[in-house]
Amino acid sequence: MSSNDTKYVQTELNDEEYKRFRKFAEEHGLSLKEAGHEAVLEWIERQQQTDPNDAAFTVLDDLDNSSLLRTAHTDAREEDDLVEEWPGNDESFVLPEDLSSNS
């Protein structure tokens, strides 16, 4: 990486955070610079991963667990049932021309 491609970042740590960071780097045989670099890259990777707890992925589970399903009712009749119940008062209507033949 050339010096033109390199950007520098800086952060502040309190004394306890710094001691923990320095100890971690030493335990892994890394300089503070290397440990910081790895930490930033790991954080970016973690932030870009899909969160399975995101509401977009849990909405169906939430619905399954809601009381809505126990209280919602449906009128799931068959087409024949609906025809039998139809009072039969016809109203005239005209179907549009077949649009598929115009293409």
pLDDT digits (tens, 9 = 90+) for 14-52: 999 999 999 999 999 999 999 999 999 999 998 888 777
Report d(CA 21, CA 15) in Å as an integer.
10
- For 70-102, the pLDDT digits (tens) are 555 556 666 666 666 666 666 666 677 766 655
For the chain, domain boundaries:
15-58
Report d(CA 6, CA 33) in Å as an integer.
13
Give 34-41's long-range contacts (Cβ < 8 A, gap of 24+). 36/11, 40/9
**pTM above the 0.75 mark?**
no
Report d(CA 31, CA 85) in Å as an integer.
81
| CA distances in angstroms from 74 to 71, 77, 82, listed in the order given | 10, 9, 14
